[in-house]
Structure 1
Amino acid sequence: MATQKLVPSMVVDLLLQNGIPELKLFSPSQYVLPAFANSSIGVSVAFQENQLRWMNNSKDIHDWIEKYVKRHVDHGVDIRYLYVGNEPFSRKYKQRTFGDVLYFMGEARKSLDRHNLTHIKTTTAHFTDILTNVTKPSKGDFREDIKELMINLLKFLKETKAPLVINIFPIYLVGSKQMPLDFAFFDERSNYTIKDGPHIYKNIFTLTYDTLVSALTKAGYPDMQIIIGQIGWPTDGYPNANPKNAERFHRGLLRYLKRNEGTPLHPNKTMDVYITGLSDENKIITEWGEYQRHWGIYRHDGSPKYKIDFSMQDHNSEPTTAKGTVKMPNRWCMYNENIFNGSKEKVMEHVNYACSKSDCTLLSPGATCDNLNFTWNASFAFNMYFQMNGQKINYCDFNGYGYITTNDPSTATCRFPIEILSVELIDNGVIHQLVASSGEISKVVSNPTILPIGLALSALVCMILLLCVLMWLPG
C-alpha cells in the first residue's frame, strides 16, 4: 500500500541477495506472483476478508483458489500457506468479529484438496488481544466472547495439521501495559522482570508467547504448532520508533532465535518468525498510529534503514540495497514564505489538504520531523504531496504558495524524500499500475543448508519480512 512500487523481479532478487527464503503477501497480485516462479522462495498468500464477503458459495472460493493459487503453483511458485482473513477475532477493528472465518477456512481447505494442493496449509493470523491476563502466563486464557470460536478453530487446525499464527508487536504491548521500554528488547538491559511461579520473564515476547501456550494448554492443545506471523519495530511516527531502536530490537531478536532457547513453557523450541516488514507503506491506514507506515526495514526506494543480518551470523552491516530503482529528478516543493504574506491560517489550509492527500506521518509527535519551524513544516507537507503525485508541476502550486527547488531542504534529522519511478504494466493497451502487496519475509534456520545465498526486493513496497528461524518471536 504505497505510491512507490518496486519491480517484482527486483524484490525477488533482493530477497535472494539477503538469504531470505520466505515471503508473506497480504494481497496475491497477478502481476507479482509470477516473479516468484522457480525462485526457491516460499510464499504465503492471503484470502482477504473483503474478498471473502463477496463469495456466495463454495464455487466462488474454488474459482478464486484456482486463479490465485493453483495457476501460480502450476507455473513454479512455491506457495506454502493460505491465510484466510487476518486477525478475525480482534477488537482492533470496528466491524464485528469475523466468525465466518471457520466456514471459509473449511471451504478453502476442501478446494485446495480438490486441486491436489494438499501441501498448502490453511490458517489465519491473530492479534494478541485474543488473550486475557497478559501479565502472568499461568493466568492466560482466550477471551470469553471468542472462546468457543477459538476452540473450534483449534480443532480445525489440529485436524488439518496447520499452525496457529499470532502477531506480536512489542512496542505496542509495553506501551499499552505501561511497562518499561527496555522490557520490549531481548538484551536484558532492564531490571524489570515478571515472576510467575518458578519462571522469570525478562522481555515482553516470551511473556506473551507463554501466555498463548498457557491458553492453548487450557483449551486442550498444549502441543499446537505456533508461528509468529508478524513481529518487528517501526522506525518513525511514534516515540521510541527510530532506526536505532529497530536495529537494537532485531539484533536481539535474531540472537535470541539463533540460541534456540525457546521460552520457559516451551524450552529448546525452534521458532518460525515473520519479520514485519520488508518496506514502508505510505498509504496504509494509520488508525492505530502513524508508525503503521514505518515498519519497513527498507525505505520506499529500496535502501535499508539500519543494520540487520538475515544470515543469523550477527554481522555488523546493512542488508543489500535494491538494484535497479530509478529516482525522479532532484526536485522538491517548498512553501514560498518570501513572496506571500498570507495568514498562517490560509497556509495551514493548504498544509492540511496536502497531508490529507499524502503522507505527513513524519510530522507527528515523536517523529523525526516534528521539530520543524512553520516554514519547513509547510514545505514538508507540500513536498510530500508533490512527490506522491509524481512531481507533476501543478501539484506544487497551492494558490501560489508553493515553488520548486533543486536544493535539498532536508535537515540533520528530517529527510525530505524523493519519489522513485513506479512500475507500470501495459496489458492489451491498458496501463495497470502495479499494485504493491503487503508481505512478510521468512527465514528457515532449522536447516541452514536450505537457505538460498541471495535475495531481492519486490514490486510491492509493503511486504513484511518472514524469518523462520531456530526460535520465534512476538507481534
Structure 2
Amino acid sequence: MYKMISSLSISLLMPLILFCGEIHVGAYLGINWGRMATQKLVPSMVVNLLLQNGISELRLFQPSFHVLDAFADTNIGLIVTLQENYLKNVFEQKQIDDYIHERVKVYSEKGVKFRYVYVGNEPFTKSLYMKKQFNGTIRYLNMTRDALDKFNLPNIKATTPHFTDVLTNVTKPSEGDFREDIKGKMLEFLDCINRTGAPFVIHIFPIYTVYRYGFDVDFAFFDNKSKFKIVDGNNSYTNLFTFIYDTLVSALAKAGYGDMEIIVGQIGWPTDGYVSASEPNAERFHRGLLQYIARKEGTPLRPNKDINMYLLGLTDENMVVTDYGPYQRHWGIYKHDGIPKYKIDFTLQDRDVKPSVAKGTVRMPNRWCAFDGKTDHNESLVLQDYEYACEKSDCTAFGAGATCDNLSFTEKVSYAYNMLCQITNQDLRKSNLSGATMTTNNPSTPDCDFPIEILTAEVVDGGSALTRRY
C-alpha cells in the first residue's frame, strides 16, 4: 500500500517538475542531500519533497540501494559519490567495476537519471592532503571512467569536487592560482577531466571564507550593505561569490584550461553554530544568490554565462564531521523533521514563500529530557555525563555566537541530556545520566530550541560493514 501511494504521488507530481524544469533553460539549480543524521527522512519523502518544490537535480552522498530505488523514473538528475572510506579499500579495477555496475548501471536501466559520479571529496584540502591520508584521486578517477565506459555510460561524467583552499590566498581574482604544494597533482587532475569533458567542481562556503580572509561579513551577501569591495583593474567585486568564482577562472586559465566548465557543487549559509549563522541571514543569502542566478549575468571574467550550482543542503546533519566548524551540522534549508526554516523559491521566480513541508514524518511525543538541577549530585559525574551526552549527540548550538551560546551551565546540561535522549527515542534507560528526568514542560528558551526528533524506519544501508555508510 505504501509503495502504491508513493508511486501515485510521484506520477501526480511529475508535471510540476517538468514545468519547473522549463524555467531553468540552459542552467539548473540542484541541492545536496546528506544523511549523516540520527533520524532521516525516508527516500520516498525526499523524492516527493523535491518534486513539490521543482528541484530537478540532487547530489547523493550515500547512494544506498533503497535510496536509488526511490529515484527511478522521477526525471531527477543524480550525482553519486564514491567516498574516501570506500575508495581506500579499493585495490583493483574489478572493485570499481562492481560498484558502478550495481549502483549505476543497474539503476540506469531502472530509470534513474545519473549525471555525474564524484570520485572522492575535496582530496587536496590542506588538512587532508598534509596528513597524506588519501592521495589516490587521479588513479580512482581513471578507474571510474574506465568502469563507466565498460558499461556503455558515456554521458555520465566522472570528476572530483574541491574546496576553495586549493586556491592561493589572493587579494584579487586576477592573481588566482592553485597552491604550490598541489600544483603538480592539480595539473594532472585537470588534464584527466579535460580529456573526458568533465567539469571542475568547486565548493564555496561564504561564511567560512569571509572570516578566513578577514573580509567584511556583508561582502558574503549579494545585497552587500557595506562599502567593502575589491577592485581588480577594470573589474569591481561587491560580493564574495563572484570574487571566488573569478579567482578560480584565473587559476584555470593559468593552467591552460580557461574555458573549462565550472559547477558550484556546494554553496549555502548555515543557520546555527557560528557567528552570523542564523535563519534570517540564510534567507537573505539565498534570496540574493537565486536572484543573481536568475539574471544570468555571469561574472566579470565570464559575463552573461549560466552558472550551475547545488545548494547545501536539504536537511541538517547532526552527525556530520565538523572540520571547518560547528556550523557544518546546520546547513539544512529544512529542519530534520522536514519543516522549512525560512523562505526560499527554488524556481528562481523570487516568490516570497516557504518551500513545501515534507509529508509523512511522525514527531515523537512532546517530552523532553532535562537535568533536575539538584545540588546533591556529584559534580564531577554530572560534568562527565554532560560531556558524554555532547559527544554522542550534538551540542554544536553551543558555539560562539550560536543560538544556545548564552545558556547557563544547568541549561546546557539539560540541552545535552535532551539531545542524547531524543536520538535514543526518548529512552532514558539507554543513557543512565546523572540527574536526568523526563518532562512535558518545554525547556526551550527564546533563542535556544530544545528539539524533539522524528520517528523513522530509515537506515543508511543494509549491506556489509564496508558499504553500509554509502
Cα–Cα, structure 1 residues 238 and 296, in superposed 2: closer, same or farther, change >3 Å?
Answer: same
Cα–Cα, structure 1 residues 51 and 396, in superposed 2: closer, same or farther, change >3 Å?
Answer: closer
The answer to whether the 8 Å contact 2:333/2:342 transfers is yes
Task: Say whether residues 1:349 and 2:415 are aligned partners.
Answer: no
Q: Secondary structure at the match of 1:31?
A: helix
Q: Secondary structure at the match of 1:43?
A: strand
Task: Say whether residues 1:142 and 2:178 are aligned partners.
Answer: yes
Inter-partner Cα distance in structure 2 for 1:426 and 1:51: 15
Task: Say whether residues 1:163 and 2:175 are aligned partners.
Answer: no
Which residue number corresponds to residue 277 of structure 1? Answer: 313
Task: Say whether residues 1:320 and 2:361 are aligned partners.
Answer: no
Structure 1's consecutive aligned runs of 4 or more residues displaced over 4 angstroms after TM superposition are 424-428, 434-437
Q: 1:109: Cα distance to partner?
A: 0.8
Q: 1:355: Cα distance to partner?
A: 0.8
Inter-partner Cα distance in structure 1 for 2:468 and 2:58: 16
Aligned positions of 1:163-242 closer than 5 A: 163-242=199-278
The answer to whether the 8 Å contact 2:62/2:460 transfers is no
Cα–Cα, structure 1 residues 99 and 393, in superposed 2: closer, same or farther, change >3 Å?
Answer: closer
Please give the TM-score of this superposition, normalised by the length of structure 2.
Answer: 0.88
Inter-partner Cα distance in structure 1 for 2:205 and 2:49: 25
Q: 1:425: Cα distance to partner?
A: 6.8
Task: Say whether residues 1:32 and 2:64 are aligned partners.
Answer: no
394, 397, 422: which one pairs with 2:429? Answer: 394
Q: Match of 2:438, as an amino acid?
A: I
The answer to whether the 8 Å contact 2:386/2:417 transfers is yes
Which residue number corresponds to residue 344 of structure 2? Answer: 308
The answer to whether the 8 Å contact 2:298/2:306 transfers is yes
The answer to whether the 8 Å contact 1:232/1:250 transfers is yes
Which residue number corresponds to residue 283 of structure 2? Answer: 247
Task: Say whether residues 1:299 and 2:301 are aligned partners.
Answer: no
439, 445, 448: which one pairs with 1:411? Answer: 445
Aligned positions of 1:87-106 closer than 5 A: 87-93=122-128, 95-96=131-132, 98-106=134-142
Q: Deviations over 1:310-329 (max 9, x none)?
A: 01111111111100000111
The answer to whether the 8 Å contact 1:5/1:435 transfers is no
Please give the TM-score of this superposition, normalised by the length of structure 1.
Answer: 0.88
The answer to whether the 8 Å contact 2:38/2:319 transfers is yes
The answer to whether the 8 Å contact 1:37/1:76 transfers is yes
Q: Deviations over 1:148-198 (max 9, x none)?
A: 222122122221111010101111010011110000010131210111111
The count of corresponding residues between Structure 1 and Structure 2 is 433
Inter-partner Cα distance in structure 2 for 1:240 and 1:343: 37
Which moved further from structure 2: 224-233 or 23-32? 23-32
Q: Deviations over 1:189-208 (max 9, x none)?
A: 12101111111111111111
Q: 1:390: Cα distance to partner?
A: 1.2
Inter-partner Cα distance in structure 2 for 1:239 and 1:216: 33
Task: Say whether residues 1:115 and 2:151 are aligned partners.
Answer: yes
Task: Say whether residues 1:81 and 2:81 are aligned partners.
Answer: no
Q: Match of 1:85, as an amino acid?
A: G
The answer to whether the 8 Å contact 2:298/2:304 transfers is yes
Q: Secondary structure at the match of 1:285?
A: coil
Cα–Cα, structure 1 residues 77 and 194, in superposed 2: closer, same or farther, change >3 Å?
Answer: same
Cα–Cα, structure 1 residues 364 and 343, in superposed 2: closer, same or farther, change >3 Å?
Answer: farther
Inter-partner Cα distance in structure 1 for 2:461 and 2:228: 58
Q: 1:427: Cα distance to partner?
A: 11
Inter-partner Cα distance in structure 1 for 2:216 and 2:280: 17
Q: Secondary structure at the match of 2:298?
A: coil
Cα–Cα, structure 1 residues 254 and 427, in superposed 2: closer, same or farther, change >3 Å?
Answer: closer
Q: 1:396: Cα distance to partner?
A: 6.0
Inter-partner Cα distance in structure 2 for 1:406 and 1:84: 47
Aligned positions of 1:386-465 closer than 5 A: 386-395=421-430, 397-399=432-434, 401-424=435-458
Q: 1:436: Cα distance to partner?
A: 8.2
The answer to whether the 8 Å contact 2:460/2:468 transfers is no
The answer to whether the 8 Å contact 1:396/1:404 transfers is no
Q: Match of 1:386, as an amino acid?
A: C
Task: Say whether residues 1:57 and 2:123 are aligned partners.
Answer: no
Q: 1:78: Cα distance to partner?
A: 0.6
- The answer for unaligned runs of 5 or more in structure 2 is 1-35
Which residue number corresponds to residue 124 of structure 1? Answer: 160
What percentage of residue pairs aligned between the two structures are identical? 55
414, 426, 433: which one pairs with 1:379? Answer: 414
Q: Deviations over 1:299-345 (max 9, x none)?
A: 1111111111101111111111100000111111111124x523544
Q: 1:435: Cα distance to partner?
A: 7.4
Q: Deviations over 1:92-115 (max 9, x none)?
A: 326317442111111111111110
Inter-partner Cα distance in structure 2 for 1:40 and 1:251: 26
Inter-partner Cα distance in structure 2 for 1:296 and 1:58: 36
Inter-partner Cα distance in structure 1 for 2:378 and 2:147: 62
29, 39, 44: which one pairs with 2:79? Answer: 44
232, 249, 259: which one pairs with 2:295? Answer: 259
Q: Deviations over 1:384-426 (max 9, x none)?
A: 1100111113146424x01101111111111110111022479
The answer to whether the 8 Å contact 1:90/1:97 transfers is no
Which moved further from structure 2: 373-382 or 249-258? 373-382
- The answer for unaligned runs of 5 or more in structure 1 is 438-475
The answer to whether the 8 Å contact 1:3/1:422 transfers is no
Which structure features the higher share of helix residues? 2
Cα–Cα, structure 1 residues 28 and 222, in superposed 2: closer, same or farther, change >3 Å?
Answer: same
Which residue number corresponds to residue 72 of structure 1? Answer: 107
Inter-partner Cα distance in structure 1 for 2:327 and 2:80: 24
Cα–Cα, structure 1 residues 321 and 436, in superposed 2: closer, same or farther, change >3 Å?
Answer: farther
Q: 1:366: Cα distance to partner?
A: 1.1
